[in-house]
Amino acid sequence: MPSNASDEPILPRLPEALVENIEAGQDSELKAALLENVALREQIANQTHLLQLMTHQFATPLTSLSGSLVMLEEAALSAEQSKEFLEFVHQDVSRLRELLQDIQSLQNLETGKLETQPQPFCIASLVEEVMQGFAIHMPVYEFEPAIPYVNGDRWQTAQVLVNLISNAIKYSPDGNPIEIGAARVPPDWIEVWVRDYGLGIPEADQPHVFERFYRVKHRDRQHIHGTGLGLSLCKHLIENQGGMLDFESKHGEGSRFFFRLPVWDEVVCDT
């Protein structure tokens, strides 16, 4: 099983004498050089830690994929068995593709390649558009009347909604309904939420939900797959627009994920 991202990267310690020089500030040039050195060492440690996490994440689907391909080489397999192993191959390839896409998106955000293009848009219309991709699931809508337009990046917000709605459906294995709503929050915010009544998140795991590659390890979701990057990406996308994202959850009773974006004007959505 992949290790969770809660393990902090180990940063090599500087010699105590150098630390004392930094604190004393006796040599400004030395102090600046040493602080730069600390920052570089920390960056290297974080990148090494990220690489280790990525290696773990790729290992599971690659091992499964390799095993399926070996079995497909067996001449004694029936047509039904071959079809079953081909399904496993498609699932593993899909998981690898999803993982690569999430990693690329996070990298683009952190390096500034994914620029925010704010514009006014109606959140209710965007939700309706996103839900067309979830035709087999009908949510309960809880939109406050006369919601003003929000000011944000429409495409980035759509990606967040897709992820939150997908999670709500995925972690409601008994087909419990999900709710999507929006309301104005003083002074000038629109809050959008996705609520489910599914598995919920154990209290001990809640502080780590937005960490990269973190996935809850509990027997009630051991067969549910994911990259562990989706919520981290959502948080980056919303904060990239000047908003915030958070959640409330109780294990066994479901979760409510919500984000806020600024009001654009008093122009009200037509829906």
Q: What is the pLDDT of residue 4?
A: 47
Share of the chain above pLDDT 70, in %: 70
Residue 230 has pLDDT above 60, yes or no: yes
Q: With bands split at pLDDT 50, 70 and 90, how would you rate the model's confidence at 57?
A: low
> Which is more confidently placed, 7 or 239?
239
Strands 178-185 and 140-143: parallel
Q: What is the pLDDT of residue 6?
A: 44
pLDDT tens sequence across 4-13: 444 444 445 5
Tell me the average pLDDT across 29-46: 70
Tell me the average pLDDT across 78-107: 74
3-state helix/strand/coil string of the chain = CCCCCCCCCCCCCCCHHHHHHHHHCCCHHHHHHHHHHHHHHHHHHHHHHHHHHHHHHHHHHHHHHHHHHHHHCCCCCCHHHHHHHHHHHHHHHHHHHHHHHHHHHHHHHHCCCCCCCCEEECHHHHHHHHHHHHCCCCCEEEECCCCEEEEECHHHHHHHHHHHHHHHHHCCCCCCCEEEEEEEECCCEEEEEEEECCCCCCHHHHHHCCCCCCCCCCHHHCCCCCCCCHHHHHHHHHHCCCCEEEEEEECCCEEEEEEEEEEEEEEECCC
> Which is more confidently placed, 47 or 144?
144
Q: With bands split at pLDDT 50, 70 and 90, how would you rate the model's confidence at 65?
A: confident
Question: For the chain, what are the domain ranges?
Answer: 16-110, 119-268
Q: What is the pLDDT of residue 253?
A: 92
Q: What is the pLDDT of residue 207?
A: 93
Average pLDDT, the chain: 78
| CATH architecture for segment(s) 119-268 | 2-Layer Sandwich (3.30)
Residue 184 has pLDDT above 70, yes or no: yes
Residue 212 has pLDDT above 70, yes or no: yes
Share of the chain above pLDDT 90, in %: 29
Residue 236 has pLDDT above 60, yes or no: yes
> Which is more confidently placed, 52 or 240?
240
Fold type of domain 16-110: Helix Hairpins (1.10.287)
In this predicted structure, which of 3-12, 90-99, 195-204 has the lowest mean pLDDT?
3-12
Q: With bands split at pLDDT 50, 70 and 90, how would you rate the model's confidence at 117?
A: confident
The model's pTM is 0.63
